[in-house]
Amino acid sequence: MQRLYWILILFIPVLPITTIYALLVPPVLLEQGQAHRIFYIHVPVAWVALYAPLIASVSGILYLVTRRQVFDRWNVVNARISVLFSLGVVISGPIWAYTAWGTFWNFSDPRLMSFFILLLCLGGYFLVRLFTDDVERRGIYSAVWAVIAAAASVFTWLAIRVLETDLHPGPVLKDMDERIASAFWWNVLAYHLLFWVLLVLGLQHERSREVEERELIE
């Protein structure tokens, strides 16, 4: 645990440094102005929000097969992280959208609505978990909902990569200016480190909660 604290201390400056770098170094895109810098946060956060449900669903399936509590632990922690990062997407996205579209939200955009559906699925996951007292049934229901959320995540990814829209820009990763690419990939690294830190802390918290829950039952 002491080693984890040192890792956290070393991680603390990473996000501020990469954010300041993204705000100051890359050139401004003339058609979007300074608002395009949200891109350096919005896209890395969206990536984590999309693959965390996949990890949760794999953990849920393993729980259904083995009934081992460790897999339920991984399930719920990854679902929580996905909620956090999905909220980051639906908060940062509209701020960026307002400068490009003149409105914070457009219900006709499949990418926005698919992410909203993902967030609703995750909300259903935690409602079911909240109102299920039996530990084994809670794990089973959570596993099923994790698979549903993973399906929503895949649908969102397909909406981003396949469905054409006049609102969202197309893929730009291959055509980025060198300074833009540098800022982007450093922020991708920073938010993946954040994901890892939250995962380790979440697993530690769940392990402690499970011990307390067993003590109460006994």
Asked whether the predicted pLDDT for residue 178 surpasses 60, the reply is yes
Q: Where are the strands (E) in the chain, listed by range?
A: none
pLDDT reported for residue 67: 92
Q: What is the mean pLDDT of residues 69-92?
A: 92
Buried (b) or exposed (e) across 60-85, using 16+ Cβ within 10 A?
Answer: bbbbeeeeebebbbbbbbbbbbbbbb
Could you state, in order of their start, the residue ranges of all structural domains in the chain?
39-217
pLDDT category at 35 given cuts 50, 70, 90 is low
pLDDT reported for residue 29: 64
33 DSSP β-pair partners = 29
Predicted structure pTM score = 0.84
Tokens of 45: 């956060």
pLDDT category at 9 given cuts 50, 70, 90 is low
Using alpha carbons, select from 174, 172, 151, 171 the residue that is nearest to residue 163. Answer: 171
pLDDT reported for residue 57: 96
pLDDT category at 144 given cuts 50, 70, 90 is very high
Gap between the Cα atoms of 60 and 44, Å rounded = 25
